[in-house]
Chains A and B, each alone.
Chain A
Amino acid sequence: MPSYYDRSTYLRGVKDGLPFILVVAPFALLFGVVATEAGLTVFETMTFSAVVIAGAAQFTALQLMNDNAPTVVVIASALAVNLRMAMYSASLTPHLGALPFWRRAFAAYTLVDQSYALSTLEYEKNPDMTLAQKTSYFFGVITPVLPNWYLWSLIGAMVGQSIPPELALDFAVPITFIAMIGPMLRTGAHVAAAFVSVTCAILFAFLPWNLGLIVAGVVGMMTGAQVELWQERKSGSEDAS
């Protein structure tokens, strides 16, 4: 059996992953708090966190469950938030696609924003990395990240109900999301998609079961894709002239 472990590359992954504890811990803590406030038990909260490992999608699901949205709408909206994972999966496939089936399955389970972002950056910087090095780096990054995701979800779920309302924790979720949106607005197409999404969400807020969010998501994606095409054509015609 070939080895997929390269010690120094693994350790470099661990080192690069360490700062992300600062992002993951408060987010997981918050999920634990918000989930128990919504009436989930510690066991339910932990199962949720361990099975899904996607803070944004979990917050979306909780929010919609609190609004009494139908189960199908909760699942569809939360998975829509997670669609970017398919994008990550697609972009990592050329690098890790040659791994044996179970390793690919485990890499998929641990594919989160942090492991994706750091790994693609590393693979682009060092195109000569072997499969063993790429694999070691990827799993190195998640080594400090994932256990902290579990741990801080648990702490949040256990201290949850003791947090007073004056702390305005209701607004921690919007702030965390907005903080992630800011750096995502890299191009005009991203800004246009976000702007259209906000506009549609407000215009269609009257729709039942949060269907306004689905409309906003679909129209926003189409806007981003169209603006990108338009920008490509524009720069193409400028090159030609």
Chain B
Amino acid sequence: MIDKSDLWIIIIAMGIGSFGLRFLFLGLVGDREMPPWVLRHLRYTAVAVLPGLVAPLVLWPAATNGQPDPARMAAALVTLGVGYFTKNVLAAIFSGAATLYLGLFLLG
């Protein structure tokens, strides 16, 4: 169970932090240039964080008590493939969901 005072600390800190990140350059830097090495690292934040977040959820799903599950792995691979080749987020979500339900239906 999530502790309520922790929850509010997290909501408030994330609100301030998210706004701070969005406002950082637009509001404070103005038209000044940023060092290229900073931009070069910022370019890869999303692809460096999201895959690392997802990998354990795919390998060890909580719903199966951490046991690797073929239906969920197949769904993850199909979602990634469709997303990569079509560049279409919605198509990837629907293909992945279809694969998951088909897998759960066939493999029980």
Residues of A within 8 A of B (CB): 22-23, 26, 38-40, 44, 47-48, 51-54, 56-58, 60-61, 63, 65-66, 71, 74-75, 77-90, 92-94, 96-98, 101, 104-105, 107-109, 111, 165, 168, 170-185, 189-190, 193-198, 200-202, 205, 212-213, 216-225, 228-229
Contact B89 A180 (CB under 8 A): yes
Which residues of B are in contact with A by a Cβ distance under 8 Å?
1-2, 6-15, 17-19, 21-27, 29-31, 34, 37, 39-63, 72, 75-76, 79-85, 87-90, 92-93, 96-97, 100-101, 104
B27 touches A108 (CB 8 A): yes
Report yes or no: B75 in contact with A175, Cβ–Cβ below 8 A.
Answer: yes
User: Do B48 and A223 have beta carbons less than 8 Å apart?
Assistant: yes
Residues of A close to B34: CB separation below 8 A: 90
Q: Which residues of B contact A85 (CB under 8 A)?
A: 18, 21-22
In this complex, the member of B42, B46, B104 whose beta carbon has the largest number of chain A beta carbons within 10 angstroms is B46
Q: List 26 A-B contacts (CB under 8 A).
A: A39-B1, A44-B7, A57-B18, A65-B7, A79-B14, A79-B17, A82-B17, A86-B25, A87-B43, A89-B23, A97-B29, A108-B23, A178-B58, A178-B79, A182-B81, A182-B82, A183-B87, A183-B88, A185-B84, A197-B49, A202-B56, A205-B56, A220-B47, A220-B49, A224-B40, A224-B43
Partner of A93, one of B18, B31, B56, B80: B31
Instruction: Establish whether residues A56 and B40, one from each chain, have CB atoms under 8 Å apart when the complex forms.
Output: no
Chain B residues with Cβ under 8 A from A23's Cβ?
Answer: 89-90
Selected from A47, A104, A175, the residue in CB contact (under 8 A) with B96 is A175
Q: A52-B15, A53-B18, A194-B48 are in contact. Are A171 and B26 (CB under 8 A)?
A: no
How many Å from the CB of A75 to the closest CB on chain B?
5
Closest 7 CB pairs of A and B: A182-B83, A220-B48, A224-B44, A216-B52, A51-B15, A179-B92, A201-B52
